[in-house]
Chains A and B, each alone.
Chain A
Amino acid sequence: MTLAMTAIRLALLGGALAAGLAAQTGKDSCVACHGALEGSLAEPTAAFQHDVHKVRGFSCVDCHGGDPTALDPETSMSRARGFKGKIDRRAIPELCARCHSDATLIHRFNPRQRVDQLAQYRTSVHGRRLAAGDTRVANCVDCHGVHDIREVRDPLSPVHPLRLPETCARCHSDSDHMKGYGIATDQFEKYRRSVHWEALSRRGDFSAPSCATCHGNHGAAPPGVATVAHVCGSCHAVFENLFTKSPHKKAFDELGMPGCVVCHGNHEVAKPTMALVGVQPGSLCLNCHVEGDKGRQAAEFMRSRIDELATVLDGSEEILKRAERSGMEVSPALVELSGGRESLIRAKVELHGFDPVLMDGSVKKGLEIAAAARRAGEKALQERDFRRKGLLLSLTAIGVTMAGLWLAVRELERRSKKG
């Protein structure tokens, strides 16, 4: 910047300052001056109004240094008073950590907030690369915002669970930005098609995972192949348990295959269907298991048993619905049948132990329930037939009576006509 331009700037500042200060009293000079400017110099002051730091009583100097009591730019933005200017990207994590790793300080504001973010960040891919000089990777402000930082639970925060995926995608889906890193850029697209995103965005189920849930947030790193099952298992505990005890665990580990991801995918986790299992074309079991091996036999058995249970349940439901449509009250039986549907779900869960005997227990239980429901349905249909027979009987009795009455009346009238 030439001297002339600096002079002009200072003059402008002075004028703006006079105007600004005339309108505002008690504000610090950073906000007072910058608020009266235009363009990118004024943006921070507008944004900062909503910043959580401002709400807690912090201001510009707490990050940028300088002297907010001084009105002239020379003093307020002097290096002597600690002014740092625009913070260098590589210095940002340490700057934030000055407070955010200070347990005593942070716990004055929120006793439960963590203070290990910097330590975690340093273990992450982002942290390690930044330390090595790569300024293209994410640091604190890339994710949290810079002048309008909001609490995570604020829906406008870029790291709110509903907005986090698009925040990560800002870089990770940008193929130009990601040039040279050797990783895919389609994770966000895939994730948006997953059941996890559907649960999160459509059903509002905040227990559903987004990027940080599986990858970590500050310590972001992709889960290792051998440990992916632990990640999925942090919610899907039963499945992890079953899988770990199953023959697949050892086999996958030896082959370097990443557990759950092999069948269910990682970003594009779709609603699983029985088409994945069995020996028909398109099933995943056929990817490894060949003709004659025990696994293939197991796959065939498990698929056929589950199909059998589903068919039998449907059949029992059909009979009950038929009885219901003819007017019979069968809701208790329908309730019992839903227990059968639970058995079907349990069988599909136990499938993940890849042990036919284990899964068959639930199938047998479900078949029993379905059979009982079918009997109830048949009983209801019998009752319906009994009612119809009863109706016929009473209609006959009524008909006979009506005939008798009619004949009696005609007889009476014939007689009275004569007489």
Chain B
Amino acid sequence: MFRRVLGWVSNRAGLDGARDFLKHKTVPAHSGALWYYFGGVTLFLFVIQVLTGMLLLLYYRPTPTEAFESVQFIVTQVEFGWLIRSVHSWAANLMVLTALIHMFSVFFLKAYRKPRELTWLSGIALLFLTLAFGFSGYLLPWNTLAYFATKVGTDMGGAVPVVGSFLRRFLRGGEEVTGATLTRFFGFHVAVLPGLTTLLLLAHLALVQKWGISSPKRQGESAPAMPFYPNFVLRELIGWYGALAVLGTLAALFPWELGTKADPFAPAPAGIRPEWYFLAMFFTLKLIPSKVLVFDGEVLGVLVFGLAAVGWMLMPFWDNRSENERRHRMLTGLGIFVIAYLAVFSVLGYWG
């Protein structure tokens, strides 16, 4: 019965082509294939975010007088509110982590090489969107930590050369972090960023479908492969269920804190720092002396990070050896250096 309904829908919606494609789609099966799952897990976590986010929207109020109270309401009065909220906060962090793992595994496996350069570019853009999601969402509970972390973060935006002060005003909706900032961040978080992400995601997935999943060239043309459906799908489901188990455990055993309501007039508490995925950059900027030669230290720092990001984005074009899959010792070394730098500086930033 189920099959007949499915068949009817497929026929009327013209999905037969897609179904055929999926039936024949294969996925390389080799030792490094474990890394293939991280993209899917990231996608899964994004879906979790959308669903829990929509649920939270039923109760959240984006004004300074009500934001904190509404989150408190969700966590104390709404049934399973604590669960939905904690899942949302934890999944955000896990998503950044899996996105980074996904990116680095693509980097080391050189999956960005021709013809998948565009997939890489759209992927980096998606990473930035994910970080933007994290930054904008962090402010929404309007607690002390969030308020001051946003203050510090948007201040850093002001350090961008030329457009810095415009950027800071644009982010804050004014000169200071106020209710206008909250409204703006809320708009970014639930409308602008989801829209952009959906478009980019569709492009990214379409490109992945078009070019298939990259496999190391040394496997050759007759490389072992498994059917996408049902083998890879079932395996991927295992990964997704695993992610659910982790999320549930975190939400139940380490619920996300409510904090104290933000008071713009109170002095900043000691030890303000941003979320972990910004810690490395934050700590680096703290280390840079306020004046380097004639340049303002913070501006220099932001500039260097910006250039590094652009450079990273253009990786497929630096790596002229990747097409033949020859090792590029320097780039591999660079990748390891970047991971080490991020890890070490994040830890240092955490300890203050």
A and B touch in the complex (CB under 8 A): yes
Residues of A in contact with B (beta carbons under 8 Å apart): 327-329, 331-332, 387-388, 390-391, 394-395, 398-399, 401-402, 405-406, 408-409, 412-413
B223-259 interface mask toward A, CB cutoff 8 Å, 1 = contact, 0 = none? 0001000110011011001101100110011110010
Q: Closest CB of chain B to A46's CB: distance in Å? A: 41
Docked-complex contact A405 and B241, CB < 8 angstroms: yes
Q: Which 7 A-B pairs have the closest CB atoms?
A: A327-B255, A391-B252, A329-B76, A398-B245, A405-B238, A409-B234, A402-B241
Cβ B238 vs Cβ A402 within 8 A: yes
Contact A391:B253 (CB < 8 A) given known A331-B72, A332-B76, A398-B245:
yes
- Shortest C-beta distance, B223 to chain A (Å), equals 16
Bound-state CA distance A406–B237 (Å) is 10
B145 in the interface (beta carbon within 8 A): no
Which of B72, B238, B245, B255 is close to A406, meaning CB atoms less than 8 Å apart? B238
Contacts of A399 in B (CB 8 A): 245
Contact B258 A329 (CB under 8 A): yes
B242 touches A402 (CB 8 A): yes
* Contact residues in B for A328 (Cβ distance below 8 Å): 255
Residues in B26-81 with C-beta less than 8 Å from chain A: 72, 75-76
Q: How many A-B residue pairs have CB under 8 A?
A: 55
Given contacts A329-B258, A390-B252, A391-B253, contact A409 B231 (CB under 8 A): yes
> Could you list which residues of chain B lie within 8 angstroms of chain A, going by C-beta atoms?
72, 75-76, 82-83, 226, 230-231, 234-235, 237-238, 241-242, 244-245, 248-249, 252-255, 258
CB-CB < 8 A to B252: which residues of A?
387-388, 390-391
28 A-B residue pairings within 8 Å (CB atoms): A327-B254, A328-B255, A329-B75, A329-B258, A331-B72, A332-B76, A387-B82, A387-B83, A388-B253, A391-B249, A391-B252, A394-B248, A398-B241, A398-B242, A398-B245, A402-B242, A402-B245, A405-B237, A405-B238, A405-B241, A408-B230, A408-B234, A409-B234, A409-B238, A412-B230, A412-B234, A413-B226, A413-B231
Q: How far is B242's CA from A19's CA once the two chains are assembled, in angstroms?
A: 98
Q: What does DSSP make chain B's interface, helix, strand, loop or mixed? A: helix
The residues of A that contact B249 with a CB separation of less than 8 Å are: 391, 395
Contacts of A331 in B (CB 8 A): 72, 258
Judge whether B245 and A395 touch: CB under 8 Å: yes
CB distance from B186 to the nearest CB of A (A): 23
* Contact of A412 with B231 in the complex, beta carbons under 8 Å: yes
Residues of B within 8 A of A413 (CB): 226, 231
Contacts of B258 in A (CB 8 A): 329, 331
A387 → B minimal CB distance (Å): 5
Other than the given A331-B72, A402-B241, 14 more pairs (CB < 8 A) read A327-B255, A329-B72, A329-B258, A391-B252, A395-B245, A398-B242, A398-B248, A399-B245, A402-B245, A405-B234, A409-B235, A409-B238, A412-B234, A413-B231
User: A171 CA to B319 CA in the complex, in Å?
Assistant: 88
Complex Cα spacing A320 to B75, Å: 16
